[in-house]
Structure formats: C-alpha cells, structure tokens
A and B are shown apart, each in its own frame.
Chain A
Amino acid sequence: MALIPYTLFFIGTFFCLTAVTVVLDFIQHRLAKHHYIQLIKENRKYLYVYLFKVLAEVALIWLIVAFIGQIWMGWIKF
C-alpha cells in the first residue's frame, strides 16, 4: 500500500468502479433492448432519461481519460 499514494489509490478505485458501472450498464441495455424500446413507447420520459444518461456516461469516460492524460503529462502529481 505504501507504494501507491492514498489519493491516487482512492481516485483510481473510484474511476475503475465508475468505468465498470458504465460498461455493465451498456451490457444491461443491450441484453434487454426490446424491453427498453417497449418502455419508451409506454413512457416517453424514459427516452430522455436514457439518452442523457448515455451522454453523461460517455462524458464520464472522457473525463477519466482526461485525468489519466493529465497524470501522464505530469500536470497532476501525487
């Protein structure tokens, strides 16, 4: 544990779990796609919730990439 600074360890764990959650969410959606399509037909609000959730997830992935990029470039140090 002493080899990894605590802040990096905590943020890294958080990012890993976030990435895993996003991937699992995509898999879940693919597996139950026809249910979601039915749900959207029944309640249109779900369409917007789903749409903005996916956009936010893509943005999250990018922010994780950006964070790693900033560590790589030496702009963020632990």
Chain B
Amino acid sequence: MDVKKIAITGITAGLCLPLALFAIILVPIPGLPAASGFWIPAGFYFVMTLWFGLWGALGGHIATTIAMGYFFGYTLHIWMNGGIGDLIAPLVCLIIFKVTKARPDLRSRKDIAVWVVAVVISSLVCGLWVHTIHLFFGIITWPSWYIGVLTYLIGDTMAVLAVGTPLLKSLTDYVKQSPMYIWK
C-alpha cells in the first residue's frame, strides 16, 4: 500500500469532513436525513478524484460517512447509503472523462462541456442512488424521493461547478507534475 495514496485519501477526508458537517447544518432539507441543498465538499472530492482517481473519491466517502453518522447520530443505513452515494458520484464523473477522453485542466471547450455534463449526470446518479435506497428501506416516502433527487441534482451540481471549476482550471497544471496524477 502506497503511503502517498493513503495521504491523499486522508487529507481529502480531513478537508471534506468539516465542510460536509456545515453543509448539512447550513442548508438542511426538511424531511430528508443528512441532505444539503448546497453540498460543498463535493466540489473538493470531485476535483481530487479527477486528479488522483479512486483515492480522492475514498476521501469524500469517508468524510461523508463520518459527518452523517457520528456527528448527526443517524442509523448505520443512512451513514453508509450517503457515503456510498458520494463515492459513486465522483467515480461516475471520472468514468465520463475517461470515456470522452476529456482532460481535467479544462483547456478546451470540449473539456468544459464534458465537465458540466459529467457533474450533472454524477449528481443525478448520486441522488437517484441515495433516495431510491432510502425509499426501498422505508426511510422516506414518494414525495420526498422527488424532492431528494432534485435537491441532490441542483445542490451538488451548483457546489461542484462553483468550487471545482476554478480549482481544476488553476491547479491542474501543478498537479500534472505529480507522479500520482492519473492522466499521463
């Protein structure tokens, strides 16, 4: 196991944890456990995933799981479901980038278009995953399912585009020099 990869995961988790906590506190969605209308940590772990692959996504997963679980006292189901949703979302974004051969430095119009579309699709997938599982387990009801999916779609997309876009555009050139950068 590479210590650097664990460090990437650890630092991503450490950064995202307080952001996840305050995103839930600041923009809560009534009736939906551990949901936020502006999921700011996603902006960070999406970017880390595009740079460093699975290790960045794992950091987001750990942060979300701990933020939802330990600090808010939710059940294990809600901890794990939200955490897995936030693990899937950046990986979906990464897969879309790989499939379309776009680059995370967002230099061309194609890269920017793929970035926007990938973020929307990833947020939708995350919302569908989390709230469909919640629905199957009887945690939420049908009206909340619609609100939840829409909230995740809008809240995650806005946060990722607002935070992630400047980070990708300004820092990717530096990250390219790292041996852990996955786009060489």
Please give the residue numbers on chain A whose beta carbons come within 8 Å of chain B beta carbons, in ascending order.
37, 40-41, 44, 47-48, 50-52, 54-56, 58-59, 62-63, 66, 69-70, 75
Shortest Cβ gap from B145 to chain A (Å): 27
Residues of A within 8 A of B25 (CB): 70, 75
Q: Are B26 and A50 in contact (CB under 8 A)?
A: no
With an 8 Å Cβ cutoff, the count of chain B residues facing the other chain is 20
Q: How far is the CA of A56 from the CA of B175 in the complex (A)?
A: 16
- Let me know if B171 is at the binding interface, CB within 8 A: yes
**Interface digits, B67-79 against A, CB 8 Å rule (1 contact, 0 not)?**
0000000000000
Shortest Cβ gap from A40 to chain B (Å): 6
Q: A58-B167, A62-B19 are in contact. Are A69 and B26 (CB under 8 A)?
A: yes
Q: How far is the CA of A39 from the CA of B18 in the complex (A)?
A: 31
Considering the complex, which residues of chain B in the window 18-48 have a beta carbon less than 8 Å from any beta carbon of chain A?
18-19, 22-23, 25-26, 40, 44
Most buried by A among B23, B163, B179: B163
- Let me know if B178 is at the binding interface, CB within 8 A: yes
| 26 A-B interface contacts by CB (under 8 A) | A40-B174, A41-B177, A44-B179, A47-B174, A48-B7, A51-B174, A51-B175, A52-B11, A52-B15, A54-B170, A54-B171, A55-B44, A55-B167, A58-B44, A58-B163, A58-B167, A59-B15, A59-B18, A59-B19, A62-B19, A62-B40, A62-B163, A63-B22, A66-B23, A69-B26, A75-B25
Q: A40-B177, A51-B171 are in contact. Are A56 and B19 (CB under 8 A)?
A: no
Considering the complex, which residues of chain B in the window 166-183 have a beta carbon less than 8 Å from any beta carbon of chain A?
167, 170-171, 174-175, 177-179
Across chains A and B, which 10 residue pairs bring their CB atoms closest together, nearest first? A66-B22, A66-B26, A52-B11, A59-B15, A69-B26, A62-B40, A55-B15, A47-B178, A40-B177, A59-B19
Q: Are B18 and A63 in contact (CB under 8 A)?
A: yes
Residues of A within 8 A of B18 (CB): 59, 63
Kindly report which residue of chain B lies nearest to residue A26, judged by CB atoms. Answer: B170
Residues of B within 8 A of A62 (CB): 19, 40, 163
Shortest Cβ gap from B15 to chain A (Å): 5
Kindly report which residue of chain B lies nearest to residue A40, judged by CB atoms. Answer: B177
Contacts A41-B177, A58-B163 known; 14 new A-B pairs at CB < 8 A: A44-B179, A48-B7, A51-B174, A51-B175, A52-B15, A54-B170, A55-B167, A56-B15, A59-B15, A59-B18, A63-B18, A63-B19, A70-B26, A75-B25
Residues of A within 8 A of B174 (CB): 37, 40, 47, 50-51
